[in-house]
Amino acid sequence: MEERLQKLIATAGLASRRHAEEMITAGEVTVNGQVVNTLGAKADPVRDHIKVRGKLINPLLAAREKVYVLLNKPRGYLTSVADPEKRPLVTELLPSAIGALHPVGRLDFNTEGLLLLTNDGDFTNFVTSARNGVEKVYEVKVKGRPPEQAIESLRRGITLPDDTRTAPAQIVKTYETATNAWFEVVLHEGRNQQIRRMFDSIGHSVIKLRRVVIGPLRNERLKPGEWRLLTPAEVARFKKPGAGRKQTSARKRRPAPTNLSRKRG
């Protein structure tokens, strides 16, 4: 049966669908020896020989078992499967025996916390698509004490310097000192360095940032760099209506976060 090339590449575990589309438009994909650089092109992995960067992916498609990993990403790791600058990659924190996985969305180099990795392109597409409303919750430490009026503007959504507009966000102040403030931020989208750019726009740069919730998955006792496999039930919960949304009001009543070094001010 024919399927879109970007879906086949994602299913093979080589990349997310978005990255697969970039590979296609860059001319890195061939079908039966012919370069295919048109998005929307289809192929049949039973009948056609599909290569990505010269590597035949048909055996990967035939033998691939879907894998879902939850990782506590440390600071100083790139959320990618490759880097020309040779910086440490999150994929290097996993054993090679687990197979080729790609990150679900991104956390920037200096952000820590929960990150999903998988070889299931459909799962990645579902979790990262803003229209599905999968919550991502972050604990944020910022420089200074932003006024409530500025935080309210972030809650409503703002226009960033690149003219993109952020969606409304839930933001709750959890603690403050004379020099810093801590917030819990709930997003349903994932623009590049969005939280850092949001707080930069009101003149209060982010000092520390940690993701503590993805959908129904909450922060656990995973130390930085540790990981575990998701259970089939956990994977299924992502697609249940309202997954990851019912806990928000309870989280607002929590005490200040203790894992962003608030004692140091």
Where does 98-196 show beta strands of DSSP type E?
A: 102-103, 112-118, 136-143, 170-176, 180-187
Locate tokens 């049949």: which residue?
Answer: 44
Burial 250-260 (b: 16+ CB within 10 A, else e): ebeeeeebeeb
Q: Residue 126: what are its φ and ψ, rounded to 5°? A: -70, -45
CB 61 within 8 A of CB 119: no
What single DSSP character describes residue 168? P
Q: Residue 93: what are its φ and ψ, rounded to 5°? A: -85, -10
Task: Report how far residue 118's alpha carbon sits from residue 81's, in angstroms, rounded to the nearest whole number.
Answer: 12
User: What are the Cα distances from residue 262, in Å, to 161, 200, 208?
Assistant: 30, 20, 10
Q: At what angle do helices 17-25 and 121-128 cross, to 10 degrees?
A: 110
Task: Report how far residue 52's alpha carbon sits from residue 203's, in angstroms, rounded to the nearest whole number.
Answer: 44
Catalytic annotation, residues? 108
